[in-house]
Amino acid sequence: MIAAFPYPPTPIGTGPKFHPPAATRPVDLRCAKTKRYGVHLELFARNRVIIVPAGINHRCLRTRWPVGIIEVRGSHTLGDFFRIWGQPLSQTRLVGFKTTRDRPVRAYVAGKRWRAPLRRLPLRRHSNIVLQLGRYIRPHKVFLFPLGL
Amino acid sequence: MRRVALVATLALVLVPAAYADADPASDILYLQRIYLPFFGEKVSDANAQTLKKVVDEAWAKGYKVKVALIASRNDLGGVFQLWERPQTYADFLGRELIFLYKGKVLTAMPNGIGVYQYKTSVDPEKAIVRKIDIGEGADGIANAATVAVARLAGLKVPPLPSAEGGGDGGTPVWELVVIIVGGLALLAAMVFFGPRVWRRRTP
């Protein structure tokens, strides 16, 4: 079993909390007129995947596919993305899920724990960001992006 | 008792924790029937339409199958270690979808095709797909998946479009313009400077 299947997967959750809708709030951000680059965001709650929807469409930050890729133009933070999306993100809240301060939402960047406030996490080119609430899920360090992003 | 404790400890050490979800196909396939590669080389429209038609016919016949075409390592996102391991990836992908879909999952890569269904033996299906040749590029993979779905569902294999038209969608118009303008400029330079150079060299 272990030899044949070395990467135990995490199933996608069912129900509306695991499939939050896309939304685009008119957040005032400064965008550089530079080429967009990719950042990968993975969300987990209660040992299940939360889908980051396609269709978040701000001129600085957008998602064109429901695969967790955020296309970024300029210099922004995870907090900017969640503000545009209109979903909660804090030590105790992740999208539609809540937790307590003694079991906070955890963030990982390239597999390493991010201990500063979540909303300040910078969206750097080709970052792989994992947010988790509940049981620990081993975060990937690397994500391969579409060519040209 | 000591043996039980040892086994429990070994299980904790050997069984890896669940891995994060990072393969794009699962996020597409929980809603759709086909994942077409878009991280690298893409499938031509004709080949994609032929595959879609066969998959839809299979579903209409009651044979539920979802198909992931993986044409490059990048199409696996964070689980790129499963590149050229179509059967392992089929097992992985099927388990990611179990709460939303329990039908067959077929994964096609340049070196083979994998099949999985939750809590169901798919040995006969594996034997069928093992015999299918896979052509070059993303279109070759799409055509192989079309043949696989048709054979598994007991459908007639449709005429397959050429597997040579894949790639990144062809040469962009601006590149063609640059090539034509560049060619004309070179021709004009040869016409203008050619005779002068020829005269200088001729004694």
User: How many CB contacts within 8 angstroms connect chain A with chain B?
Assistant: 123
Residue B198 in contact with partner chain A when CB distance is under 8 A: no
- Asked if the model's pLDDT at residue B14 lies above 80, the reply is no
Q: What is the 3-state secondary structure (H, E, C) of A107-120?
A: EEECCEEECCCHHH
% of chain A exceeding 90 in pLDDT? 87
Cβ(B114)–Cβ(B89) under 8 Å?
Answer: yes
Taking contacts as CB-CB distances below 8 angstroms, the residues of chain B near A130 are: 20
Using pLDDT thresholds of 50, 70 and 90, give the confidence band for residue A62: very high
pLDDT for the residue B196:
67
The answer to whether the CB atoms of A140 and B92 lie below 8 A apart is no
- B66 phi and psi angles, rounded to 5 deg: -115, 145
Confidence of residue B197 (pLDDT cuts 50, 70, 90): low
Whether the Cβ atoms of residue B131 and residue B36 lie closer than 8 Å to each other: no
| pLDDT value of residue A29 | 94
How confident is the model at residue B139, as a pLDDT?
Answer: 97
Q: Which residues contact B23 (CB under 8 A, 6 or more apart)?
A: B76, B77, B78, B79, B82, B89, B92, B93, B96
User: Shortest Cα distance from A138 to chain B (angstroms)?
Assistant: 5
Query: By C-alpha distance, which of A90, A35, A81, A88 is closest to A58?
Result: A81
Q: What tens digit of pLDDT does each residue of B73-122 get? A: 999 999 999 999 999 999 999 999 999 999 999 999 999 999 999 999 99
CA distance A111 to B63: 40
Instruction: Indicate whether B13 pLDDT > 50.
Output: no
Instruction: Say if B68 is an interface residue toward chain A (CB within 8 Å).
Output: no
Q: What pLDDT is attached to residue B164?
A: 59
Query: What is the SS3 assignment for B115?
Result: strand
Least Cα separation, residue B101 to chain A (angstroms):
10
- Are B22 and A128 in contact (CB < 8 Å)? yes
Predicted pLDDT at A1? 41
Q: Does the pLDDT at position B187 exceed 90?
A: no
Give the pLDDT confidence score for residue B202 in this predicted structure: 58
Residue with more model confidence, B128 or B191: B128
SS3 B127: helix
d(CA A117, CA B130): 51
Q: Does B107 lie at the interface with A, CB-CB under 8 angstroms?
A: no
pLDDT of residue A8: 76
* Residue B134 or A32, more confident: B134
The residue ranking higher by pLDDT, B194 or B94, is B94
CA-closest candidate to residue B15, choices A65, A133, A93, A1: A1
The nearest CA of chain A is from the CA of B174 a distance in Å of: 17
What is the spatial distance between Cα B161 and Cα B49, in angstroms, rounded to a whole number? 10
- pLDDT confidence of residue B184: 74
* Concatenated DSSP letters of B151-202: HHHTPPPPPPPPSSS-BSSS--HHHHHHHHHHHHHHHHHHHHHHHHHHHHH-
Element housing A71 (H / E): strand A69-72
Chain A residue with minimum CA distance to B81? A7
Q: What is the pLDDT of residues A68-113, one digit of tens each?
A: 999 999 999 999 999 999 999 999 999 999 999 999 999 999 999 9
Q: Is residue B95 within 8 Å of B118, Cβ to Cβ?
A: yes
- Does residue A37 belong to the interface with chain B, where contact is any CB pair within 8 Å? no
Pairing of strands B65-69, B34-35: parallel
pLDDT at B8 over 50: no
CB distance B16 to A8 below 8 Å:
yes
Using the CB atoms, write b or e for B100-122: b if 16+ within 10 Å: bbeebbbbbbbebbbbbbeeeeb
CA distance A72 to B76: 21
Determine whether the interchain pair B22/A140 forms a contact, defined as Cβ–Cβ distance below 8 Å.
yes
With CA atoms as reference, the chain A residue closest to B78 would be A143
Cα(A67)–Cα(A38) distance, integer angstroms: 12
Q: Does A15 touch chain B (CB under 8 A)?
A: no
How many angstroms separate the CA atoms of B80 and B30, rounded?
20
Mean pLDDT highest for which of B18-32, B37-51, B166-180? B37-51
Q: Is the pTM of this model over 0.90?
A: no
Note whether ipTM > 0.90 here: no
The rounded distance, in Å, linking the Cα atoms of A58 and B24 is: 22
Query: What is the number of other CB atoms lying within 10 angstroms of the CB of residue B131?
Result: 10
A112-114 vs A106-109, strand pairing mode: antiparallel
Contact assignment for B20 to A68 by CB distance below 8 Å: no
